[in-house]
A and B are shown apart, each in its own frame.
Chain A
Amino acid sequence: MTLCYQMDDKFEMIRMAVREFAESEIKPVAGELEEKEEFSVSLTQQMGDIGLFGMTVPETYGGQGLDYISYIIAVEEVARIDGSQAATLAAGNSLGISPIDAFGSEAQKRKYLPDLCRGRTLMGFGLTEPNAGSDAGATNTTATRDGDSWIINGRKTLTTNANTPMTKGSIVQAVTGTKPNGKAEYTCLIVENGTPGFTLNTLKRKLMWRGSNTAELFLNKCRVPDDAVLGNPGDGFKQMLATLDGGRLSIGAMGLGCAQGAYEAALRYSKERVQFGKPISKQQAVSFKLADMALKIELARNLLYKACWLAENKRPYGKESAMAKLYCSEIAREVADEAVQVHGGYGLFKDYDVERFYRDQRLLQIGEGTSEVLRIVISRAIGC
């Protein structure tokens, strides 16, 4: 039994490779894309070119063949620069690619994964509905069998990546019947954009991640073939829970990266800004804030990487993944908030990145399990 805090050189090289890319390609355009509420196809393709999609997918399907920790480090490094691109990446990998890789048929993998992994297409994951958010059991969307095909009716909302020019389609969770115990039976189906009866609307005027795409999905007598079913009919709920366990790690990575980016900006600024005759970093009121930020980031990183290690080693990680997502997203709020405070009045302007970090962090306590839902998950896991 060993306890080792030394990371392999491979992980450090992954980190430096993504950092180099994010600093040189994303950083110069992040603010403008965000302000214009513009999803960038070219930037997404560039992320695909360096292999940021399909990181854990086997190379035989066009994936990168890497491990979960490498993927989490990559999301963290992109989020350190820009929440919007990190959102495209995290949702693309954890919600679009991962369910097909984990549950898809051989034919589905061959059909979708190569282009998804090259960053040439994207896939959404339609789960949330106007009246089914934290209560995923309240799903109203239905799919009924009709001969060799399924007919889907319903509406999904707040789906990342669902309506970009490069989106291939969305995985949609629908009620397909009732189980013997009276509970609803769920099935996930892949619905391609352009299918008759399937329309999309991009949701604008977001507080954060404005350079990423969020859409609502309308399914009106939308007919898909039988082989659009992901895995087996009736597996939808299990698939959704497994997808969210993994997805939470990537949201945790977004929180960690956001906190890291905000902290670095605050530290840099505090060394430049002189008040009362010395840099504010030399004044305890500010230096203690920075010390607390560094402490929280250190704790968050340790917890997140441990959860990844559990996932990678096929051990139960539901509790730790919930803890990591909860903690990383909450310290992202605290650190971004204090980073603005360190910047004083300037931190309120778009000229400084902390203004964006401050807004971007706010989704993280809501998406893929609100902080409250995560506390339910953790409290159940510890036997309450």
Chain B
Amino acid sequence: MKIIVTVKQVPDTNEVKIDPKTGTLIREGVPGIINPEDKNALETALRIKKDKDDVTVTVLSMGPPQAEIALREALAMGADKAILLSDRAFAGSDTLATSYMLSRAIKKIKKYDLIICGRQAIDGDTAQVGPQLAEGLNLPQATCVEEIAIRGDVVTVKSRFDNIMRTIEMKMPALITVSNRANRPRFKTMNGVLRAFRDKEVLTWTKDDLELNPMRIGINGSPTWVRKTFVPSHSRAGLMIEKKPTESAADILDFILEKAFLRL
């Protein structure tokens, strides 16, 4: 069985500060990490690999050359192969262009049974690339997956839609996106790190390695334009309740029910 996991290198948002003048992220000096839910995707793949014979896990990313280290980290966690799509012509891609290029790379990989993506990235929060990639490859898809089982060529998943869980069966090849509820990603082992650098390699594919429509990549292929970014002001005053604890609790419950945060 062949599994492809897509990963994105993102700035560690715990360390990111926002420039108050321009409203953009200050990325200088901020470490790049694997997008957290992509680690859940990789963990899902690695657990399948542990349970079944003959599973290979390939991680695929698009990004600048520095993104190689994110792929190296995925190899250290246990992935078998890594491919980085990197070319100046890819710069400025939105989710549509990104998913197009990923789909072309997957066409080139040819053989695969399951594609696993993280639900969304912590820098853009769009949750679009997974679903767009499935459309681009004409594959059945399930998003926000929390549980997965494979029997023969059928993958059965539990997918969350708000507070409803759906059980979905799909014939493979198929694509799923997983959320952080799916599992707890493993720690890297010392020997895993060694093997990621000594025994495994990260392949880099440029635009010349892929069959691409030049109008669908980079800025040309990106209809999304960010008009403005800004930091919303959090000026709403909190609600102060100063009563006895039992009365306060009752007031808080009323408030929660009124706002429909919770239903009884």
Chain A residues engaging chain B, CB cutoff 8 angstroms: 8-10, 13-14, 17, 20-21, 49-52, 55, 59, 64-66, 70, 74
Closest 8 CB pairs of A and B: A51-B190, A17-B188, A51-B189, A64-B190, A64-B191, A10-B197, A50-B187, A50-B189
Residues on B close to A: CB < 8 A?
Answer: 69, 72-73, 76, 187-194, 196-197
- Expressed in whole angstroms, the Cα–Cα distance for A45 and B82 within the complex equals 30
Contacting pair A14 B190 (CB below 8 A): yes
**Which of B69, B76, B194, B196 is within 8 Å of A65, CB to CB?**
B194
Known: A50-B187, A51-B192, A55-B190; 13 extra A-B contacts, CB below 8 A, are A9-B69, A9-B197, A10-B197, A14-B190, A14-B193, A17-B187, A17-B189, A49-B189, A50-B190, A64-B194, A65-B194, A66-B194, A70-B190
A70 to B191, CA, bound (A): 11
Q: A10–B190 Cα gap in the complex (Å)? A: 10
Tell me the bound Cα distance from A295 to B93 in angstroms: 43
Given the contacts A9-B69, A9-B72, A17 and B191 also touching, CB distance less than 8 Å: no
B190 touches A66 (CB 8 A): yes
Q: Across the interface, which residues of A come within 8 angstroms of B188, CB to CB?
A: 13, 17, 20, 50
Contact residues in B for A17 (Cβ distance below 8 Å)? 76, 187-190, 193
Whole-angstrom distance between the alpha carbons of A86 and B188 in the complex? 18
With A17-B76, A17-B187 already in contact, the answer to whether A10 and B69 are too (CB < 8 A) is no
- Residues in A with CB closer than 8 Å to B191 are 51, 59, 64-66
* A20–B76 alpha-carbon span in the complex (Å): 14
The docked-state distance in angstroms from the alpha carbon of A73 to that of B128 is 39
B189 touches A10 (CB 8 A): no
**A and B contact pairs by CB, cutoff 8 A, 19 listed:** A9-B197, A10-B194, A10-B197, A13-B69, A13-B76, A13-B193, A13-B197, A14-B193, A17-B189, A21-B187, A49-B187, A50-B187, A51-B190, A51-B192, A59-B191, A64-B189, A64-B190, A64-B194, A74-B190
In the bound complex, CA of A66 to CA of B197 (Å): 11
Residues in B whose Cβ lies below 8 Å from that of A50: 187-190
Chain B residue numbers with a CB within 8 Å of A13 are 69, 72-73, 76, 188, 193, 196-197
Cα distance A17–B72 when bound, in Å? 12
Smallest Cβ-Cβ distance to A53: which chain B residue: B190
Chain B residues near A55 (CB-CB < 8 A): 190
Nearest B residue to A10, CB-CB: B197
**How distant is B121 from chain A, measured CB to nearest CB, in Å?**
19
Complex: A10 Cα to B73 Cα, angstroms: 10
B39 to chain A, nearest CB (A): 11
Complex Cα gap A64–B197 (Å): 13
User: How close is A78's CB to chain B, nearest CB, in angstroms?
Assistant: 12
Give the nearest-CB partner of A65 in chain B: B194
Across the two chains, which residue of chain B brings its CB closest to A52?
B190
Closest Cβ of chain A to B47, distance in Å, is 16
Question: For the complex, what is the distance from the CA of A9 to the CA of B188, rounded to whole Å?
Answer: 14
**Distance of B102 from chain A, by nearest CB (Å):** 25
* Nearest residue, chain A, Cβ from B184: A24
CA distance A13 to B200 in the complex (A): 15
- In the complex, A301 Cα to B76 Cα: how many Å? 26
Q: Tell me the bound Cα distance from A20 to B39 in angstroms.
A: 14
| Inter-chain contact B190/A20, CB cutoff 8 Å | no
Complex interface: chain A residues within 8 A of B192 (CB)? 51
- Which residues in A have their C-beta under 8 angstroms from that of B190? 14, 17, 50-52, 55, 64, 66, 70, 74
- With the chains together, A333 CA to B190 CA distance in Å? 30
Chain A residues with Cβ under 8 A from B196's Cβ? 13
- What separation, in Å, do the CA atoms of A9 and B196 have in the docked complex? 11
Chain A, residue nearest B76 (CB): A13
Q: Is the CB of A20 within 8 A of B187?
A: yes
Residues of B within 8 A of A64 (CB): 189-191, 194
B219 to chain A, nearest CB (A): 30
Q: Which residues from B are CB-within-8-Å of A10?
A: 193-194, 197
Chain B: which residue is nearest A55 at the CB level? B190
Query: From A63, which residue of chain B is reached at the shortest CB distance?
Result: B191
CA distance A20 to B191 in the complex (A): 16
Tell which of B72, B189, B193, B196 has the most Cβ of chain A within 10 Å. B193
Which residue of chain A has its CB nearest to the CB of B195? Answer: A65
Q: Smallest CB–CB gap between B178 and chain A, Å? A: 20
Docked CA distance A137–B192 (Å): 43
In the bound complex, how far is the Cα of B192 from the Cα of A55, in angstroms?
12
* Neighbouring A residues of B69 by C-beta, 8 Å: 9, 13
What separation, in Å, do the CA atoms of A65 and B69 have in the docked complex?
A: 21
Instruction: Tell me the complex Cα distance, A66–B196, Å.
Output: 12
Identify the closest chain A residue to B196 (Cβ): A13
A21 to B197, CA, bound (A): 20
Q: How far apart are the CA atoms of A17 and B196 in the complex, in Å?
A: 13
A14–B193 CA distance with the chains assembled, in angstroms: 7
A27 to B254, CA, bound (A): 38
Indicate the member of A13, A21, A59, A65 with the most B CB atoms within 10 Å. A13
Q: How far is the CB of B239 from chain A (nearest CB, A)?
A: 27
A45 vs chain B, min Cβ distance (A):
13
User: Smallest distance from the beta carbon of B240 to chain A beta carbons, Å?
Assistant: 24
A64 → B minimal CB distance (Å): 4
Identity of the chain A residue whose Cβ is nearest the Cβ of B68 in the assembled complex = A9
Chain A residues with CB under 8 A of B194? 10, 64-66, 70
Q: Within the assembled complex, what's the spacing in Å between the Cα atoms of A220 and B263? A: 71
Smallest distance from the beta carbon of A163 to chain B beta carbons, Å?
A: 27
Chain B residues with CB under 8 A of A52: 190
- Assembly CA distance A65 to B190 (angstroms): 9
A21 to B194, CA, bound (A): 17
Across the interface, which residues of A come within 8 angstroms of B187, CB to CB? 17, 20-21, 49-50
A200 CB, nearest partner CB in chain B, Å: 30
- A10 CA / B194 CA spacing, docked (Å): 7
Give the docked Cα–Cα distance between A367 and B262 (Å): 58
